[in-house]
Each structure stands twice: as C-alpha cells, then as structure tokens.
Amino acid sequence: MCAIVGCKQAHDGYTISGDVRESWDGKKVYLYLKDVEPSRLIDSTVISKGKFEIKGNFETPRFCELRLYLNPNDKNNRNFIVSSSFFVDSTEVNVRCDKFDKRPSFSVIGSSISDQYAEYIKENEQLYDKEVFQKYSDAYYKENDLDLAYKYAKEVALFRKKKHDHRVQFINNHPESPVSLKIVQDMITRAGNVSRKETLELFNTLSVKLRNSEAGVFTKSLLEARKVYVGELFRDAIVDDIALNQCNLKDYIKDGTHTLIEFWASWCGPCRGDIPSVKRAYEKYHPRGFNIVSVSIDKNIKSWQKAVREEDMSWVQLRNRKGDNSIVETYGVTYVPSTFLVDKKGIITHVDLRGGWLDMELNRIYNN
C-alpha cells in the first residue's frame, strides 16, 4: 500500500513528495488534471533513490491523478499502473509505499478536501445495501421468482433514491467545496434519471468562485453539451440496420407506443445475460404496444450479426456509426448495457431500466 499523507498547514502552492521502492528508480511519476476532458498532464518527474517530488500552484483546488507506469512500454495494462485520484490544494503531500506489497496502490490520508471527499463517498455507499441487490439478482435471474424480485427491486430503488438525496444535500450544504463540483460533474457524465432543470439548479447552487473556475466552466459546458435528459424528447441519430443500410432512429420510434432504446455489444457479458429478461418483456408487452430498439456498439460487424442470430432477437437491431453526432455520442453512452425508455409522446422517462425495474415499469404502464 502506498499512503499519501497530507499536512494540514497551508503554504505557497502544493508539494507532492514520494518515498517509494528503489526498484522503481528511473521510472516517471505523472500528475494529471482529471476535472477536465481530456485529462491534462500537469507535471512529471523521475524517481531517484526511491524518492520524487512535484511542486506547483493551482488557483483553486483541483481533482488530479498521480500515476506511475510500472511497464512504460505497456501503458494500457492496468495491472502495471499504480495510481490514485485525489484533490490537490495548497498542502504538502507525502507518498510512501510498503516495500512488501505485492500489488502496490496509492491511498489518500490527509488533504482536508480529500478527507471530505472520502467521507462523502463512505456515507453515500453506506446508504446502499449490496446484500439486498444480490437477493434481487438471485430471485430474478436464478430463481425466476418475480414477486420476490420485485420486492427487492423496490428496496434497491429506495436505496438509490437515498443516495441521490444525499448527493443533493451535500451540494446544498457545501456550495463552496470542490467536492460538490465533482458530484455535479459526475451527475452530468453518468447519464441518469436527473433532469436538465435539476442538474442546472445544482450547478447554480455552487459558489461563484467554483462556477468560474476552469473545472466549473468545463462542467457548465458539459451540462449544455449533453443532448439527452430525462423529461425531454428523444434525439434522432443516423444508424445502420442489420443489413448495414443507413437509416434514422426516429423511423423506429412510433407515436403512441412505448419504446426501449437499448445499447449493448456482443462481447458484453451483462448485456447477453439480460437478453432473456428483455425477450420476456418484449413477448409479454409487444402485443400491447411495447417496442424495443437495440443499438450495438460493436466494431466487428460479423460478431454483432452472429450474436443477434444466436440470441434470436426478433426486435429492431441497429448499430452505431462512427463519427461526429453518432448515436453513442448523442445519448452520452459510456457503458453498456444502457437503456432509455421513451413514452407515447417521445419523452424519455427513465434511464437504465433493466431486469426487474423494467418489468415493474411496464407492469405499471400496461396493467395500471
């Protein structure tokens, strides 16, 4: 374990000092800004005699990542990356590494803002009971006990609401904290069931200093650039159909029907695992006006087409097209599976409805 220890006293700028393994001598340590995109390299230094030091100044505290590549020739292999993300302000930070750790990693103990962020994460995670989610998963996917699965799904939904309420409360109670800005930024980049109006209100809750900072200006640009929000009309996009003909998403979103736009990939285990439940929902509610449009993010066309045949997916199958204004970019999809439920008027009502939650919502819609 590599411990990052921050001294409480403020001084002119920040200093990150490292005391690590001498076997790492000659390797570089990099400091990146993580509150803007793309991540920006701020500084780097070379480890010498098991030590390193990085100094600098920020006008406001910034969310950064300290990164060390154990194998500089393979920077994409996470097994050879030692890193930690934390807030850097006017403090002195010392980095130490236990020489006997087989899998070294950095942890932050000190900087007051990083401490506040760690406490926020801890409190938020305590609001979620993973055991209840596991019980839901077992009931829904293994035992096919829908009544029991719905019971646990409702409990999980309540946990998620509590987590969201906790985020909002933290922002309202700490409008000047960089942690609050980080929370707002995460809400924007992780498409969820938060409206544009609520997101903007939370952003405007932040102090003027935070909003006008580089990270704040970037966050505002993210908010304005995001095209899809719950409570707004779905967005059209150009896609390919299963025969590789260019077409438009809007051609498959019919007025007067509910449509699930589902993003997936042939190589995605959870996506393939969800197909039986999606198929069950389609067979049950399609005769009553429920439609599904699956959008693959596969780069390998043959793998996508093969998976569609193997899974016997009888609903509309489309594929993302590369380039600007792609459907993946339009919908801000950063992971699969991702879903967007569109109502009879073309309004997006829910994001990431899957499994038991999708079943419950369709049951509410069609069985009142």
CA atoms of 251 and 241, how far apart (whole Å):
11
Low-confidence ranges of the chain (pLDDT < 70): 1-12, 94-110, 191
40-53 pLDDT tens trace: 999 999 999 988 89
State the span(s) of the chain assigned CATH 3.40.30.10. Answer: 238-367
State the span(s) of the chain assigned CATH 2.60.40.180. Answer: 2-109
Closest C-alpha among 226, 230, 222, 186 to residue 339: 230
For residue 97, what pLDDT is reported?
64
CA atoms of 50 and 21, how far apart (whole Å):
5
Whole-model pTM: value is: 0.86
Closest C-alpha among 153, 191, 167 to residue 277: 153
CA atoms of 361 and 343, how far apart (whole Å):
11
For residue 15, what pLDDT is reported?
85
For residue 190, what pLDDT is reported?
78
Strands 14-19 vs 92-97: parallel, antiparallel or unpaired: parallel
Note every long-range contact of 78-83, with CB atoms under 8 Å and residues 24 or more positions apart, other chains counting: 82/2, 82/106
Write the single-letter amino acid at 215.
A
For residue 11, what pLDDT is reported?
47
123-137 pLDDT tens trace: 999 999 999 999 999
224-264 pLDDT tens trace: 988 999 999 999 999 999 999 999 999 999 999 999 999 99
CATH 2.60.40.180 fits 2-109, yes or no: yes
CATH 3.40.30.10 fits 238-367, yes or no: yes
Residue 319, phi then psi, degrees to nearest 5: -140, 140
For residue 8, what pLDDT is reported?
38
